[in-house]
Amino acid sequence: MHASIAVLPGDGIGPEVTSEAVHILHAVAQRWGHAFDVEEGLIGGCAIDATGEPLPAETSRLAFRADAVLLGAVGGPRWSDPDASVRPEQGLLGLRQALGVYANLRPISVHPALSAASPVKADRLVGVDILFVRELTGGIYFGEKTRQPLLGGERATDLCVYTTEEIERVVRIAARLARERRRRLTSVDKANVLETSRLWRRVTDRVMHDEFPDVTLDHVLVDACAMRLVQAPATFDVVVTENLFGDILTDEASMLAGSIGMLPSASLGEAPWWSEDAPGPTTRPGLYEPVHGSAPDIAGRGVANPIGAILSVGMLLRHSLGLTEEARAVEQAVNAVVADGWGTPDIAVSDGLRCTTRELAERIAGRLVEQRDDVATHAVGSNETTQVA
């Protein structure tokens, strides 16, 4: 396969983790004989410094030309004034909206070697395997905002808006994913208070009844969901929710895995390659990024965990390029290294197994090579005639 990948390192630890993720991408290309053309662009704070804009026009063009987009992180103290008219986060929100990537997939699982790193009791982490599907381009983040002077102060508003179509399309993606897993879908809302949540619940009920009768649906209020994520996280399969709730709940759920640095995400738009009604690849490039932020306090120290970015490459291979075997190999390489106890300071099981960002990525790349060698050895020792690339 020949594919083009736009890489937007961004700010803080973004350049460090994306550099290692690209290293893994090249290792995959070498092992399977693919060609990945990688081109970098500016986004976020560094883009503001260079061009005055958080999402320069050239970055948008680069993203649209690519088959997939890999992003690091945006933001930092230099651009943290919430009253500034231009902010790094505007670049990320603008890119999501421009690409039309309305479904954000965030898998949460707990590696047995890291259960002690989680603040949640180990017995509650057994069997945790959650896939969050967060609506990404609607809701309060994109609604009209106002601020007006008021006697003695100010008055601010943020409008939360959802349409039937926006809810239908993200619920369909979540239900299809649930159908491929344990056939359970949890929809999270605040229907006892919010009108947007009442619409969300009505639309979800109809879509599931008419199109996915084989998937079990339950509704959970967002506050109850937050408690259940701590009390009984293994009871969730696929969770679908709106933009703000999804942002908050997935950050909470990231602590189940022991470190937010472990978690990848994929943001997808129309007709993903794996969907039932689309035989081809995505009509627009998917956007892939680790869940963590820019972590400016550790930037440049070589201690950032690259696994979230590396697993985002795995999701890129699977969802945008259709390379399931390669995606699985990346995930297996990560799991093997973590099982051996190696990690950056946030996940290392002992000081003696503590790695730098680069060293951890090198160990994961090494596991990819070992997998190839293991396959080759097996093929030579058997009667199979399958050629090993």
Q: Supply the residues annotated as catalytic.
A: 141, 190, 223, 247, 251
User: CA-to-CA distance for 103 and 216, rounded, in angstroms?
Assistant: 20
Q: What is the dihedral of CA 156, 80, 19, 342, to 10 degrees?
A: -90
List of E strands, 242-377: 266-268, 286-288
Whether the Cβ atoms of residue 291 and residue 263 lie closer than 8 Å to each other: yes
DSSP for 33-89? T-EEEEEE---THHHHHHHS-SS-HHHHHHHHHSSEEEEEE---GGG--TT-SS-HH
Return the ∠ at Cα 128 (arms to 363 and 266), rounded to 5°. Answer: 60
- DSSP tally for the chain: helices H, then strands E: 11, 12
Return the ∠ at Cα 28 (arms to 24 and 34), rounded to 5°. Answer: 135
Nearest to 256 by CA among 116, 161, 354: 116
Whether the Cβ atoms of residue 281 and residue 321 lie closer than 8 Å to each other: yes
Cα diameter, the chain = 85
Joined tokens for residue 147: 């601020």
User: What does the DSSP 8-state code read for residue 239?
Assistant: E
User: What does the DSSP 8-state code read for residue 257?
Assistant: G
In this structure, the chain runs to a length of 389
* Beta carbons within 10 angstroms of residue 244's beta carbon: 17
Q: Residue 213 half-sphere exposure, CB side, CA atoms within 13 Å?
A: 2
Whether the Cβ atoms of residue 133 and residue 240 lie closer than 8 Å to each other: yes
The DSSP bridge partners found for residue 7 are: 40, 70
Joined tokens for residue 134: 């967060």
Core vs surface per residue 196-228: b (16+ CB within 10 A) or e:
bbebbbebbeebbeeebeebebebbbbeebbee
